[in-house]
Chains A and B, each alone.
Chain A
Amino acid sequence: MSNQLYALSGQFETPDEIMHAAEEVNKKYKQYDVNTPYPVHGMDGAMGMGESPIGWVTLVVGTTCMLLMLCFIAWIQLVDYPTTFAGKPDFNLPGYVPILFETTILTGAVTTVLTLLFVVCGLPNNAHPIHDTNYAKRTSDDRFGIYVEAKDPAFNEAEVRQLFEQLGAKDIAPIYIDAEEVAAGKNMSVLKPQFIGFAATVVLVISGAAYFGLNHMVFLPPYNWMSVQPKVVPQKTNTVFKNGVSMQLPVEGTIARGFIPYAKVGAKEGFGQSMANPLDPTAEVFALGEQKYLTMCSACHGNYGQGDSRLNGQYPAPPSLHSKKAVEWADAEIYHVITNGQNIMPSYAKQLTRDERWAIVHYVRALQRSLNPKETDVQ
């Protein structure tokens, strides 16, 4: 223990005595402190202490962090990842107030505590001259202590001792600075560059690993309102097929179910006598043929096939179906004309199925026969 004096201390038995002592000491000295085993109300006033400046730390840090958070939210919502929620504007201030409020409280509170611990109290250095003294032991147990520091400009050991004696202090004792403890405090391992470097490395490695782990290894895309899906999109190159087209053509020669291809598509003449009407002339077939004829054919050919178009000359009327040529035609030729079209008559292959076309052929035959009946029909 060195002999450098830190302070002169005195101890009292009751809170009233220590309040009185603090008031008296405060009249002459500024560098002094009081230690009590429990909070004594009114001590701030007795010691002449003003308002603690720590509130300014809370205010400045809280306000700054609130503004930083506002900028952060603005950057996210306006620049980096604009999202619309519930039809509200992109920058939706009332909705951010709870976040800003919580940021202010959190940063203000945490910074206040950290400032108290690391700036005001000087952690991690916890050396203090009153450690391991009788004064510290008693004032944390059953006595109320006061000490005046030697660095006070008005400090004079004899005068302070006399003042303490007048006030009725017990165990008036000097407190010395422990050079060994001070040196140990200055040479703490946590303050060495090796430790600080190690700690910084650990922080960097852990935060870097967390960043890469979360953003690259276990990254989940944020919810994107179904706008991104693993499906084929129009106007985009398909990487699966060689030709880059998603909608592939069927293999050449593919026939759709229930579809019988017609070999004479585009030909000048049909199969003639070599192909018969595949449908039997039943009542159902005639009914179908009549319905389809009236829907598709009658507009130009007339309801009875006489070429008396119902379009009143707006469109060239076709020849009569009762002409000698048409009457003598094989069934397959009429079918060929319906399927391929002729002159300005278009193909009806898209509008009428194969069976419907053959049914129309039956119906046209019936119409022809109604105007040129055989003798057997008249009977």
Chain B
Amino acid sequence: MSTHTSQYQKKDLPPVVGQVGFGLLGVGLLLALVSFFVDPLRTKFISIMLFMFLAGIGVTSLFMVAIEYLAGAVWSTPLRRIFEMFSSLILFLPIFALPVVFSMQDLYEWTHKTDEILARKAAYLNQPFFMVRLAVIIGLWIVFYKLFTGNSLKQDTTQDQSLTAKNVKLSALFIPVMGLSITALSIDFLMSLEPHWFSTIFGVNFFIGSLTAALAVITIAVVLLNENGYLHPGTVRDHYYSLGFGMIAATVFWMYTAFSQGMLIWYANIPEETPWYLHRWDGDWKVITLAQILVHFIIPFFLLVQRKNKRNPNRMLFASVWILFAHLFDLYWVVMPAYRPQGPIIGWNELGFVLLAAGVIITVFHQQTKRKNLVAVGDPKLQRGLEFRL
């Protein structure tokens, strides 16, 4: 065969990546600060979106690492270091949680109001326990991130196969931990915005939405890096295909959970379950709700359904950007009706946070690439991963 693991040569990313990252970060931060002084409450609500966007992408990137080890997948081994680099967003989550933590009194009704339902939920929904949960969840994620990437990086030089075996055991531990923790996080930050309402599938829906976004970010990075020769030259379009396959599967599953949540609540028509949907069905929110079907399902589905699209770099880039937009759209739909029940409002405040999120992701990724190989060169599965074909 023509490929070999030793063909990879580490090349530094061009400085323009860092410049773009810092530029977006600067503009985003500036807009966020201006927005905070102009419209503080709105900015606080948007900061929930920002935190959940970055947290979801970070932890589901680590989930992709874990699922590769656990399933013994080979197609993703040449790309795994990219997953690891995006999961380093976890390290910065405490910073992005701060704006939410310091404005909880303004954001969450349950912190200062009470009635019979909230009184019964108070054993779980109280501020000290919220902080404890947040600290434990982010702490666990950081520990797992350090262990996974530590083993993976060590393997680059030692080529020790037992490190893979260690990470497999770690993955078996991490996946249930992640399932529970991402559910708890989505309940705390998103579902408790309307604390009387509950849905048991909410955490799954947030997880799978984040997974589509994480795969989209990974796809953008992989396509741009590989087309410009920064990855192993054995990385081919069949690897893009697999990422696209993951995205379409996650998109369909997102629609499945979102629809089953909506339909069951609509069908049962129980007073304690319907208000959340009524808030998203009143006035102009109805447009956003119905547009979700188009934005988050029909368009990505038909962008990705054909094999030739999943093997085409430009179409994959377009589909990934669209899916990131769809995920932000979904977060907006979940968070903002709590801020403005009378109708959606989109302006430079929201745009500033999108720029900030993009700046954070690009800057963090760029910093990661400086010190690390972009390919897990010591992984025993790398050769098979490079030989992966459809």
Interface string of B223-264 (1 = CB under 8 A from A): 000000000000000000000000000000000000100110
| In contact, A88 and B263 (Cβ under 8 angstroms) | no
Chain B contact patch, size range: 10 to 19
Chain A: which residue is nearest B237 at the CB level? A45
Whole-angstrom distance between the alpha carbons of A42 and B307 in the complex? 15
> Is the CB–CB distance between B390 and A86 below 8 Å?
no
Binary interface profile of B, 350-390, with partner A (CB < 8 Å = 1, else 0)? 00000000000000000000000000000000000001111
Interface 1/0s, chain B 1-21, versus A by CB < 8 A? 100000000000000000000
**Partner pick for B263 among A41, A86, A95, CB 8 A cutoff:** A95
A residues 35-58 touching B (CB-CB < 8 Å) = 41-42, 44-45, 50-51, 55
> How far does the alpha carbon of A94 sit from the alpha carbon of B258 in the complex, in Å?
12
> Known interface pairs A51-B308, A94-B262. Does A41 touch B390 (Cβ–Cβ under 8 Å)?
yes
- The reply to whether B307 and A51 form a contact with Cβ atoms under 8 Å apart is yes
Closest to A46 in B: B389
Chain B residues within 8 Å of A44, by CB: 389-390
**A296: which B residues are within 8 A, CB to CB?**
none
A41 partner residues in chain B, CB cutoff 8 A: 387-390
Least CB distance, B89 to chain A, in whole angstroms: 34
Residue of B nearest to A98 (CB): B263
When distances are taken between beta carbons in the complex, the residues of chain B under 8 Å from A88 are 267
Decide: A86 and B267 in contact? CB cutoff 8 A.
yes
Q: Residue B199 at the A interface, CB < 8 A?
A: no
Q: How far is the CA of A44 from the CA of B307 in the complex (A)?
A: 13
Note all chain B residues with C-beta closer than 8 A to A94.
Answer: 259, 262-263, 266-267
Q: Are the C-beta atoms of B387 and A95 separated by less than 8 Å?
A: no
Does B259 lie within 8 Å of A86, measured CB to CB?
A: no
Q: How far is the CA of A87 from the CA of B307 in the complex (A)?
A: 44
Provide 28 A-B residue pairs closer than 8 Å at the C-beta atoms, listed in order of the A residue. A16-B1, A41-B387, A41-B388, A41-B389, A41-B390, A42-B387, A42-B390, A44-B389, A44-B390, A45-B389, A45-B390, A51-B306, A51-B307, A51-B308, A55-B305, A55-B306, A55-B307, A86-B267, A86-B269, A87-B269, A88-B267, A94-B259, A94-B263, A94-B267, A95-B263, A97-B259, A97-B263, A98-B263
Which residues of B lie under 8 Å from residue A16 when comparing CB positions?
A: 1
Residue of B with least CB distance to A45: B389
B contact residues around A50 at 8 Å (CB): 308
Q: Give CA–CA (A42, B267) in the complex, Å.
A: 48
Chain A residue at minimal CB-CB distance from B263: A94
Minimum CB distance partner of A51 in chain B:
B307
Interface residue ranges, A against B (CB under 8 Å): 16, 41-42, 44-45, 50-51, 55, 86-88, 94-95, 97-98
Using A50-B308, A87-B269 as known contacts, list a sample of 10 further A-B pairs with CB atoms less than 8 Å apart, ordered by residue number in A.
Answer: A41-B390, A42-B390, A44-B389, A51-B306, A51-B307, A55-B305, A55-B306, A95-B263, A97-B263, A98-B263
Structural contact, A95 and B389, CB atoms closer than 8 A: no
Closest to B236 in A: A45
A94 nearest CB neighbor, chain B only: B263
Closest chain-A Cβ to B315's Cβ sits at a distance in Å of 14
Closest B residue, CB atoms, query A50: B308
* Alpha-carbon distance between A97 and B308 when the two chains are bound, in angstroms: 29
- Nearest CB of chain B from residue A51's CB, rounded to whole Å: 5
Residues B158-194 near A (CB distance < 8 A): none
Residues in B neighbouring A42, C-beta threshold 8 A: 387, 389-390
Measured CB to CB, the nearest residue on chain A to B266 is A94
Question: Nearest A residue to B256 by beta-carbon distance?
Answer: A101
A306 → B minimal CB distance (Å): 67
Chain A residues whose CB sits within 8 angstroms of the CB of B388 once the complex forms: 41
Report A101 CB to chain B, min CB distance, Å: 9
Interface centre among A42, A44, A55 (most CB of B within 10 A): A42
A95 surroundings in chain B (CB, below 8 A): 263, 267
Within 8 A of A (CB), among B297-348: 305-308
Q: What is the distance, in angstroms, from A26's C-beta to the closest C-beta of chain B?
A: 15
